[in-house]
Amino acid sequence: MTDLALVRHGPTDWNADRRIQGRADRPLSAAGRAAVAAWRLPPPFRDFNVVCSPLRRARETAAALAGAAPVEPDLVEMDWGSWEGRRLADLRAELGPAMAANEDRGLDFRPTGGESPRDVQARLAPWLAAVARRRRPTLAVTHKGVIRAVYALAAGWDMTGKAPHRLANAALHHFRLDGDGHPAIVALNIPLDADREAAP
């Protein structure tokens, strides 16, 4: 069994504006850099091998947490195609029932010209298996779509309806990989704050 910890990047201007980022390479905002500067990895995770998505917001977050980290291309955010830069609320208003039907597809939800969450899981599978083979505890700084894809695998959630757990930002999510790279949940929503205890 191999420990895997996942952390979402810090906030960007598009996060504040509720815009879909996907592969758009937005840097951390000034507020995001200030927030990440205050984050601390909990002691059990400080010796983990740290890797990150190739997108700038993840690289900047990883550098603030642990110094420069190797890039893993498979950790890149879900591709939202032509919807990048848009707001979900606007898309729902514009597309109406078609958008609702698409969202009801869960793992097979697909933005125009983009990836589905099931595609993200398929993209991640070889990387998860490689981490499991190396048997080295690993911490990945990545994105909401990637974390949700791993969580869905671990929870057996098909992404329809409400998620069994809410995944917090500014938190670490701890999984354990079996020999094939399949994740199991150990603990979710561990605060990135040395002065706070892990959430229940």
Q: Where are the domains of the chain?
A: 2-191
Cα distance between residue 188 and residue 200, in whole Å: 8
- Model confidence pLDDT, tens digit, residues 114-149: 999 999 999 999 999 999 999 999 999 999 999 999
What is the Cβ-side half-sphere exposure of residue 126, based on CA atoms within 13 angstroms? 5
Domain spanning 2-191, CATH architecture: 3-Layer(aba) Sandwich (3.40)
Assign 30 to helix, strand or coil. Answer: helix
Residue 130's CB: how many other CB atoms inside 10 A? 13
Q: Which residues pair with 59 in a beta bridge?
A: none
Q: If pLDDT is split at 50, 70 and 90, which confidence band does 199 have?
A: very low
- Model confidence pLDDT, tens digit, residues 40-98: 999 999 999 999 999 999 999 999 999 889 999 999 999 999 999 999 999 999 999 99
Q: Residue 4 has which token pair?
A: 């895997």
- Model confidence pLDDT, tens digit, residues 168-180: 999 999 999 999 9
